[in-house]
Amino acid sequence: MNTQDETTALKAARELFVRMVVSNWELQNQRLNGWLAKLPEERLAEPVAEGKNRAVYLLGHLIAVNDGMISLLGLGERLYPELDHLFVKDPDRTFEEIPSVADLKAQWANLNAVLTRYFTELDAEEWFTKHNAISDEDFAREPHRNKLNILINRTNHEAYHLGQLIFLKA
Amino acid sequence: MNTQDETTALKAARELFVRMVVSNWELQNQRLNGWLAKLPEERLAEPVAEGKNRAVYLLGHLIAVNDGMISLLGLGERLYPELDHLFVKDPDRTFEEIPSVADLKAQWANLNAVLTRYFTELDAEEWFTKHNAISDEDFAREPHRNKLNILINRTNHEAYHLGQLIFLKA
């Protein structure tokens, strides 16, 4: 191969890898959305199992954590930073007020549309650069801790909680 | 860059992708092993939540599904194909006999050691070739459905069930 072909091959390899990771994230979203579409809204007030988090709390938690990717990946301003306090710092049932299920469902849909746009626009090469929670020194030693790795990690996080949410059946 | 450097860059990029995916799989294993080490063995006979699968069933299910990667990725002979019937085809509690927790724990540990060795030995380029459950035609159209994509998918699957197992606390 000549140099031009090799550069093209490297770019194609990176684009393929990004597509693999993004499509697996989309798959988890599709599954969560399928579950969400079927379950009557009022049932999200129920805990997913006796003594465990309420479904509405887990939904808020997933919005807050996935929204955090916007700043972590340097994509722009977070949409819902105010959710961190309720859904990341505080455990469920330690607060009086919780956003309505309708509001959270709208935020979840909007966040996924915004993230999808950001992910589509991000250059494949850019995905392999460092995210905003790792130092230059650490990244030099551990280059696998890049932006795309964050999305792999957050997809596993979403799958983890989806396994819990699914216990509430329509 | 000259051609030699470019070839090296492509190889390095592929090795980095593989490391990212394998390290995220290892992370889920570590979490599951941490949970398994703390929970008294007899408690795996409990369902993870009322009316849901028993923990021992989910452990057997994860062994069977992850063991399936050995044939799917063309790595060799499966270790425990006999578990498919009990833990993939049949739902929990539809059979009388179930392997002992001690046996399943030993199989889980052995499987992870064997998979780790296979994954280390597999050439980075090989990870981006087709797995054994996709046709040549489909793979030509959808090259992201490669061996590494199977591991991303199975890691999400493990995270999903880990989110359920974790409901049983030591």
pLDDT tens for the 170 residues of chain B, in order: 566 666 888 999 999 999 999 999 999 999 999 999 999 999 999 999 999 999 999 999 999 999 999 999 999 999 999 999 999 988 887 777 889 999 999 999 999 999 999 999 999 999 999 999 999 999 999 999 999 999 999 999 999 999 999 999 98
Residue B1 inside a domain? The answer is: no
Q: Is residue A26 part of a domain?
A: yes
Number of compact structural domains in chain A: 1
Tally: H helices and E strands in chain A: 7, 0
Find the domain containing B115 and state its range: 41-165
Residues of B in contact with A2 (CB under 8 A): 3
Whether A12 contacts chain B with CB within 8 A: no
The answer to whether position A170 is within a domain reads no
Which DSSP category does A42 fall into? G
Burial B63-97 (b: 16+ CB within 10 A, else e): bbbbbbbbebbebeebbbeebbebbeeeebeeeee
User: What is residue A2's predicted lDDT score, i.e. its pLDDT?
Assistant: 62
Positions of chain A with pLDDT lower than 70, given as ranges: 1-3, 6
Looking at CA atoms only, how far is residue B150 from chain A in angstroms?
Answer: 10
What are the tens digits of pLDDT across the range A57-91?
Answer: 999 999 999 999 999 999 999 999 999 999 998 88
CA nearest B108: which of B161, B163, B145?
B161
Does a structural domain hold residue A30? Answer: yes
Residues from chain B contacting residue A50 (CB–CB below 8 Å): 49-50
Q: Please tell me the distance from the alpha carbon of residue B152 to that of residue B161, in angstroms, as a whole number.
A: 15
Closest CA to B70 of B121, B105, B30, B19: B121
Does the structure's ipTM exceed the value 0.85? yes
Whole-number Å distance between alpha carbons of A28 and B160: 10
* Residue A110 domain-assigned (yes or no): yes
| Domain contains A13 | yes
Res B14: pLDDT = 95
Taking the Cβ of residue B141 and every Cβ of chain A, the question of whether any pair is shorter than 8 Å is answered with no
Q: Do A167 and B52 touch (CB under 8 A)?
A: yes
Q: What are the residue ranges of helices labelled H in A39-94?
A: 55-72, 83-84
CATH code of B132's domain:
1.20.120.450
Q: Is residue A10 part of a domain?
A: yes
| Domain membership flag for residue A62 | yes
Q: Are A3 and A63 in contact (CB under 8 A)?
A: no
B32 in reach of chain A (CB within 8 A) = no
Round to whole Å and give the CA distance between B163 and B170.
15
